[in-house]
Amino acid sequence: PRAIYLKDYQVPPFLIDTTELRFELGDDHTLVRSVLKMRRNPASPSRQAPLDLHGHESLELCRLAISGQVLSPQDYRREGESLLIRAVPDEFTLECLTRIRPQDNTALEGLYRSDGMYCTQCEAEGFRRITFYLDRPDVMSVFTTTVEADARRYPVLLSNGNPVASGSLEDEGRHWVTWQDPFPKPAYLFALVAGDLAHIERPFKTASGRDVTLRIYAESRDLDKLDHAMESLVKAMRWDEKVYGREYDLDIYMIVAVDFFNMGAMENKGLNIFNTSCVLASPETTTDAAFQRVEGVVAHEYFHNWSGNRVTCRDWFQLSLKEGFTVFRDAEFSADMNSRAVKRVEDVTLLRTAQFAEDAGPMAHPVRPASFIEISNFYTLTVYEKGAEVVRMIHTLLGPELFRKGSDLYFERHDGQAVTTDDFVRAMEEVSGRDLSQFRLWYDQAGTPRLHVSDDYDAAAQRYSLHVEQSCPATPDQAEKKPFHIPLAIGLLGPGGRDLPLAGGATTEVLELTETKQTFVFEGVAERPVPSLLRGFSAPVKLQYPCSRDERVFLMSHDSDGFNRWDAGQALAVDILRELMDQYRAGRPMQLDCALIDAFAAVLDDEALDPAMVAKVLTLPSEAYLSELSDEIDVEAIHEARQFAKKALAQALSGRFERRYLALAPAGVYAPDAVQVARRSLRNLCLSYLMALEQPAQLARARAQYDDADNMTDRQGALSLIAHSAFGAEADAVLEDFYRRFERETLVINQWLAIQASDPKPGALARVDALMKHEAFDIRNPNKVRSLISVFCNQNAVNFHAADGAGYDFLADRIIEMNRLNPQVASRLLTPLTRWRKYDAPRQALMQSALQRILDSGELSKDVYEVVSKSL
Ligand code: B3K
Ligand code: ZN
């Protein structure tokens, strides 16, 4: 497999003005007829180039004609993924008849079957598994699609755009529908669905008065779980009109839920296809977190209609142009719908645990990668989450008004075009008059920048100075880094914890770092302040400032920035957990610093705080985050220290946890609204501390919550605490009960798998092995693979990293198996093995040999090959 480079980009030699497709769906095979109106691209320098079409090896070419002339095999050549036609005129019609077998497609790219229906996934390069085409995002075409299938088994036939004609072939029991999408689009946004589907519908009037029909399709048994997605869609549409001035553009907007899906959802024009896990929601079967995920993903895919579809990417190196921007948009939407501070805490937690780890590992790459072997490997936390942080920093530097002007200019100027991240930044520069050339390094330099901050105070001159030094560790292919342009939002806390007025009387100031070392001076500061640094996490960096535990406690209780209040608590907890880890390693008894107990007590007693934030503050840093912070990960020490701290906190504060647990008892009918979600999150957190006491009375309390719950959040919260507890018989009983209750609810059973896979008790691997043979498991279904295998390997460190290497062997075997079935899922499974450099020498050797065994296992997909070869 060979790498492709951004620097080699060339405009397409040919364009496709219109694309007409006809699908004849059959049990044995599907026939795809395409008629493409093509011409040479006037912008291309190569006037003689042969026509080079993309086509996956699995395509069976039945007939090929140019402007009515059937080609014979001498006229073309197939080579790997390309179909070369030597002599073509400047303008012509290409007709193609292709045979494919969706029922055998386990990769879930292109056209495939999910349970009893047909669906597609074309991003990034799946369309070439459907027919021969110029499968690149800068070739945009107007599509007309006819779908023909058995009328009884596939009554619903969908594609992009608006339905324009339909009919039936009476004697054959078949019918057809023709869809037309007036907006030119790249092939990756193509979609088709055929099945026996039910739907809900709602009318929507856009701000300018156009009538749109909104429909959500699913299998009929899930019809009662679609309302939340519909409400989320309507909210997202209103929000985009108000905040970005963007309206929907077709007459119909459709979402279809499918159970077999490689990721969360896909923004196909007018016909989004969603993983059931990101659409279906009901109080009995869905947790609050999952309700919020549905809201966020529905919004994300809807927002793509402008940031992605109307304005798309020139090439796949620009992926963050649509993904980073759209994640920023959906995060702001969720912040407006729910709690802004809580949303920020969640996003930063993900970034700091998983994206920072990616940035420090062998697959580290810039937000705009410079090369790739398989683009599917670059749908990463860096492109999505760090990409969103880069857009957020532009928002911070420009302020909301100029940012909106910039986005207006970007959408107007590039509507209908395939563009680059540079075009996005240029629009922001033009409206603001700012020079963002140094800022652009965020797109090109990988790695997480570090800030070392120190300060001094001159009492006589009443002058306070902050000294900031930035650096960035080397990453693969990038040894040296230039300094970044970093917005550093800060505040200064005076005596009593009040914000001191800064420039212009504001209490938060955005310092702009552009050099390796800089000093910022504040005059007229009457007493030495405590700095509140990186407010709101204003840049995706690691900041170090020598802060005492007392100062952290002070910030925890006084900082006016909600994010930094939480962060001060996290930093305090990290500091104290590290001390416990040292004690554990030295074989000394562990002893928890009272500072953490006192700080938690104060937060628990403060009834004025949002319970959701209280829950966040009282959540100890995860094992994954502690691992990311470690130079060498000590799996046992991290686990033991954290368990010890949890139990010690529970013992010291049991009365308070119990009081708040009781006071937060559910009142009224379940709703996944911000107020109730906040209460349940704190209540379940209190229960988790109480369960850490390992007392039968607490077990009984958890079991009662499980039995009495009228919603999945409370039921599942209790279930996982009991399942992970030392009460073995009770754990088995409650898991058994849960399975019987929800046997028919696939998504709930996936949670049941995940809870068992994440059980830190010894023996988890044997349990996972057994579950792979359970009727609830299916290796072809990515949701099941994620729930059981990924959860075990990523959320059960003590078992996965068992010293004998059994976890690594298990994962290597699964990857070798999945590589043949579904390369994208196989490649994602690799992540934990790629981090081998962070473990002790014996584990390093075991992980490397697992990777080597995968490499030697025979023919590898590009996906798996790229990750394995880059990490060894
Ligand atoms: N754009 C799709 C992701 C496609 C992934 C292809 N391997 C979903 C999203 O980000 O909205
Ligand atoms: Zn997206």
357-406 pLDDT, tens per residue?
999 999 999 999 999 999 999 999 999 999 999 999 999 999 999 999 99
Identify the residue whose C-alpha is closest to ligand 1 atom 5: 123
Query: Collapsing DSSP states into helix, strand and coil, what is residue 15?
Result: strand
Residue 261 CA to ligand 1 center (angstroms) comes to: 11
Q: Which of 121, 267, 309 to mutate to test the pocket of ligand 1 (most atoms within 8 A of CB)?
A: 267
SS3 sequence of 153-203: CCCEEEECCEEEEEEEEHHHCEEEEEEEEEEEECHHHCCEEEECCEEEEEE
Ligand in nearest proximity to the CA of 267 = 1
Nearest to 825 by CA among 798, 788, 852, 858: 788
Ligand 1 centroid–CA 404 distance in Å is 25
Task: Give the position, in ligand 1's atom list, of the atom nearest the Cα of 263.
Answer: 5
What are the residue ranges spanned by the domains of the chain? Answer: 1-195, 197-310, 317-438, 450-544, 545-646+657-680
CA-265 nearest atom, ligand 1: 8
Task: State the Cα–Cα distance between residues 100 and 110, nearest whole angstrom.
Answer: 10
Three-state DSSP state, 639 = helix
- Smallest-distance ligand from the CA of 326: 2
Pairing of strands 418-419, 312-313: parallel
Closest residue by CA, ligand 1 atom 1: 266
Max Cα-Cα span within the chain: 98
Q: Looking at the CA of 265, which ligand is closest?
A: 1
* Distance between Cα 783 and ligand 2 center (Å): 19
Q: 197-310 has which CATH code? A: 3.30.2010.30
- Ligand 1, atom nearest to 375 Cα: 7
Q: How far is the CA of 304 from the centre of ligand 2 (A)?
A: 7
CA-nearest residue for atom 3, ligand 1, is 266
Ligand 1, residue 323: give the atom nearest the CA. Answer: 10
**CA–CA separation, 242 and 711 (whole Å):** 33
Determine the angle formed by the axes of helices 746-757 and 728-742, rounding to 10 degrees.
160
Residue minimizing CA distance to atom 4 of ligand 1 = 123
Pocket of ligand 1 (CB under 6 A): 123-124, 263, 265-267, 300-301, 304, 323, 376, 379
Give the DSSP per-residue string, 133-144: B--STT--EEEE
SS3 57: coil
Q: Whose CA is nearest to atom 6 of ligand 1?
A: 123
How remote is the CA of residue 164 from the centroid of ligand 1, in Å?
28
Ligand number nearest CA of 307 is 2
Instruction: Please give the single-letter amino acid code of residue 857.
Output: S
Separation of CA 300 and ligand 2 centre (Å) = 6
Return the CATH fold of 317-438.
Neutral Protease; domain 2 (1.10.390)
Residue 137's closest CA among 330, 323, 393?
323
Which residues lie closer than 8 Å to 228 by C-beta, 6 or more apart? 281, 282, 286, 291, 294, 295, 672
Phi, psi of 204 (to 5 degrees): -140, 135
pLDDT tens digit sequence for 696-722: 999 999 999 999 999 999 999 999 999
Token duo for residue 217: 């399709």
Is it true that the peptide bond before 124 is cis, omega within 30 degrees of 0? yes
- Residue 576: C-alpha distances to residues 597, 638, 710, 752 (Å): 11, 12, 38, 33
Quote the tokens at residue 689. Answer: 């501390």
Residue nearest to atom 7 of ligand 1 (CA): 376
- CA dist 206 and 441 (Å) reads 39
Q: How many CB atoms lie within 10 A of CB 439?
A: 22
Which atom of ligand 1 is found nearest the CA of 297? 11
Which one from 20, 148, 267, 301 is the annotated catalytic residue? Answer: 301
Amino acid 667: pLDDT = 87
Domain 450-544 coded CATH 2.60.40.1840: yes
Residue 228 to residue 856: CA distance in whole angstroms: 47
| pLDDT at 354 (0 to 100) | 98
**What distance in Å separates the CA atoms of residue 821 and residue 780, rounded to the nearest whole number?**
7
Give, for 684, the enclosing helix (H) or strand (E): helix 674-692
Task: Determine whether 201 is an active site residue.
Answer: no
Nearest-angstrom CA–CA distance, 632 and 629: 9
Q: Say how many Å lie between the CA of residue 283 and the centre of ligand 2.
A: 27
Q: CA-to-CA distance for 485 and 539, rounded, in angstroms?
A: 10
Which of 624, 619, 537 minimizes the C-alpha distance to 353?
A: 624
- The reply to whether 1-195 and 450-544 are identical in fold is yes
User: Rounded distance, CA 667 to CA 710, Å?
Assistant: 11
Dist CA 820 CA 859 (whole Å): 9
The minimum-distance atom of ligand 1 relative to the CA of 301 is 11
Position of tokens 């584990």?
843
In the CATH hierarchy, which fold is given to the domain comprising 1-195?
Immunoglobulin-like (2.60.40)
**Integer angstrom CA distances of residue 429 from 435, 440, 483, 797:** 6, 11, 20, 45
Paired tokens of 18? 């219109």
Side-chain half-sphere of 204: how many Cα atoms within 13 Å?
A: 26
Q: Single out the residue of 590, 696, 697, 568 nearest to residue 646, CA to CA.
A: 590
Which residue, among 715, 769, 770, 703, has the nearest Cα to 745 in the 3D structure?
715
Choice from 323, 378, 861 to test ligand 1 binding pocket (greatest atom count within 8 A of CB)? 323
Please tell me the distance between residue 308's alpha carbon and the centre of ligand 2 in angstroms.
Answer: 8
* Superfamily for domain range 545-646+657-680: Peptidase M1, alanyl aminopeptidase, C-terminal domain (1.25.50.10)
Altogether, the residues listed in the chain come to a count of: 872
Give residue-wise pLDDT tens across range 503-541.
Answer: 889 999 999 999 999 999 999 999 999 999 999 999 999
Q: Which residue CA neighbors atom 10 of ligand 1 most closely?
A: 323
Residue of the nearest CA to atom 8 in ligand 1?
Answer: 266
pLDDT, position 46? 87
**3-state helix vs strand vs coil in the chain, percent to 5:** 45, 20, 30
SS3 783: helix
Q: Which residues of the chain have pLDDT under 70?
A: none
